[in-house]
Chain A
């Protein structure tokens, strides 16, 4: 009964979405405020309906209702409750429901924080989001229904893929989807502005915080996915340029370009046409990513469904959304004004150059991800495009972008002077170059890539210091503390986010340059040394988990005779599908991670063991979180807070009364 309620709620949500997608947009076109007023209640109603559906599915999982096909396929009676709930998004159908739920959450947020928008703009935004929602609801109801019954019911569920039975599964997909779907708001703002023909500075100001919030979620979501792969897959990698990872990285690159482009549109009125295109691009890539991962086109852990009907629906949906918005763009964009003039050598010019590099990088990732699929489809042979390709393409594209990242914040808007910039940056440049050349020698190995990585990281750090110092001389205040306090939050946000990139680059460079690994055969009591640390194997014993049995090894780690920690890596066998999983044990640290994973049992109690010493690896994720923190600082800026706080009173009483009559 409960699953049917969920199914019915989805059908109702579709009806509401159709109303929300048509009436407010039409109302805005003809200036009918009664029709426009439909948008808000419709969005809220849709949110409640999809939430109901989601709750019903959650209930079916919690109650182990194996008469629901999806529940039987992705969970098991032995699976602990939190993983049963996370299993809602463990496969295709449920993750689309999560997507839709998050879309309606964003809609709901728009209805809450949009009182300061003109009514026509708000109706168009919610209308566009309603249209997107129609696509997803229709997809679920026609070819991918999570509430489909299995009659007679299965006695036992098939279980969630053991790889996904991890705390990462509980938090990573919702975070990532918050980011993906969050770009739908920027997209809806852009389409609404195209429809209304009012792409002005106010439009950019409104879209900015939404885009930044989505970008923060996406950054954190990607970092969590990467961290999860690092400790779960058992081979110590943190990024493999897997198509699934690329699918989330492409919207991030486009979104990063968008965040910067919006800054120019907001401050200087320029780049409007380009900003709109980026907003369309970021969301289209989010859609593409969702479907690439979930459609089964790519053979990977994340691909679950292989159904031609679904494939056709997805292609048609993508074609309508992307094609439709690009057509609208081609039709409307030429009428958009140009904004303020600027020289090539100016902050605008540098941001634009950075945008070109980011988009080219995004295009390369797209090319590398789709190329094998196209070759295969055209019967031109099967190839693999992997880390060696992406590394050799990505680094040359990103290095100049990171260099510009240091200069941009110091350049004046409109027109900057190159000699002047050179003068202001000569110390930063000197310090970076010398440190980057000397430091690797001090640490023991010198390679060009190591040096380049350090150069870029130190360059960002030193230029940030110069930027902040110059900024402090321009703000009011007597003491240093006063002056630091009067620097706006959004400016801090930019600096912090840029420094996050520096931290990230340090992590990548150091771990690539200095990580060491050892594959050893260890008997009880034997020791192995890696990076100053002595590992002693104290034997393995059998343990029983809720839905698995495992061999748990015990390793005492010491350094200079002092015990550092004891690590317990496991080799688990999940009973439901008899799958074996390697559970690595990690001792994280600010300057290094120690990583042990058990290989295979050998004769007389010995095991094959893989040991890693990974310097600075946590800086990779730390950098991402710092970037996201920068985004949070930026949106907590005063000017946004003022905008949020003053809401309802703006609507004249007469209009409100009129609306009430209509309702």
Chain B
């Protein structure tokens, strides 16, 4: 350890205020806080534009977080808490929309798109294979393209 090091450490000690302790977490119980976090990232802050309950600083979000904390303290399961919240606020509070009649298309849609796309692709390729006479871009065309690109087009 050289002089500079010692100096740095001395400066660090002198410059700061008195060494104080480790900051307390905002929540009293880290375990229940982790559960709150886990729940809150999938819940919507109802008064915000588009923010989760976990991220929002709005007073109403603060209240709702406190309520959820209380429910966790009462030993309710995640399922029960979510049921309670949807009963009160509707599906709007859930960022993961529940699967029901009106949301079937929402959940099935993406995979339907892939299946339809893949089927269309295969059918088109099959039909195409039957129809196509191999006319790739010929040498002549390549030359014409190069000519068009380098020398300008012919007048129509």
8 A Cβ contacts from A371-422 to B: 371, 375, 380-389, 392-393, 397, 414
Q: How many inter-chain contacts with C-beta < 8 Å in the A-B complex?
A: 222
Q: Which of A116, A268, A359 contacts B150 (CB 8 A)?
A: A116
Interface size of A by Cβ–Cβ distance < 8 Å?
97
Knowing A339-B136, A340-B134, A397-B114, say if A116 contacts B23 (CB, 8 Å): no
8 A Cβ contacts from B13-52 to A: 16-27, 33, 41-42, 44, 49-52
Distance in Å from the Cβ of B44 to the closest Cβ of chain A?
A: 5
Interface size class of B (residues with CB under 8 A): 35 or more
B125 within 8 A of A: yes
B7 within 8 A of A: no
Asked if B96 and A364 sit within 8 Å, CB to CB, the answer is no
Asked if A383 and B97 sit within 8 Å, CB to CB, the answer is yes
Q: Look across to chain A and name the residue whose beta carbon is closest to the beta carbon of B101.
A: A380
Q: Which residues of chain A are within 8 angstroms of B148 by Cβ–Cβ distance?
A: 116, 118, 202
Which of A216-224, A457-465, A514-522 participates in binding chain B?
A: A514-522
Distance in Å from the Cβ of A575 to the closest Cβ of chain B?
A: 20
Asked if B91 and A389 sit within 8 Å, CB to CB, the answer is no
Q: Look across to chain A and name the residue whose beta carbon is closest to the beta carbon of B146.
A: A639
B55 within 8 A of A: yes
Q: Which of A368, A525, A655 contacts B19 (CB 8 A)?
A: A525
Q: Which of B113, B144, B152 contacts A360 (CB 8 A)?
A: B113
A475 within 8 A of B: no
Knowing A519-B26, A520-B24, A524-B17, say if A397 contacts B110 (CB, 8 Å): yes
Asked if B109 and A367 sit within 8 Å, CB to CB, the answer is yes
Q: Which residues of chain A are within 8 angstroms of B42 by Cβ–Cβ distance?
A: 386, 388
B76 within 8 A of A: no
Distance in Å from the Cβ of A183 to the closest Cβ of chain B?
A: 21
Asked if B134 and A116 sit within 8 Å, CB to CB, the answer is no
Asked if A363 and B44 sit within 8 Å, CB to CB, the answer is no
Which of A137-145, A438-446, A490-498, A642-650 participates in binding chain B?
A: A642-650
Q: Which residues of chain A are within 8 angstroms of B55 by Cβ–Cβ distance?
A: 235, 237
A344 within 8 A of B: yes
8 A Cβ contacts from A534-558 to B: 536-539, 556, 558
8 A Cβ contacts from B108-156 to A: 109-110, 113-114, 117-118, 120-122, 125, 128-129, 131-137, 141-142, 144-145, 148-156
Taking Cβ atoms with an 8 Å cutoff, the residues of B that contact A are 8-9, 12, 16-27, 33, 41-42, 44, 49-52, 55, 57, 90-97, 102-103, 105-106, 109-110, 113-114, 117-118, 120-122, 125, 128-129, 131-137, 141-142, 144-145, 148-156
Q: A387-B41, A519-B27, A525-B20 are in contact. List 5 more A-B contacts (CB 8 A).
A: A119-B155, A341-B134, A363-B113, A393-B110, A526-B20
- Sample of 9 A–B contacts (CB below 8 Å): A31-B156, A33-B155, A118-B154, A341-B129, A341-B133, A389-B96, A520-B24, A526-B21, A609-B23
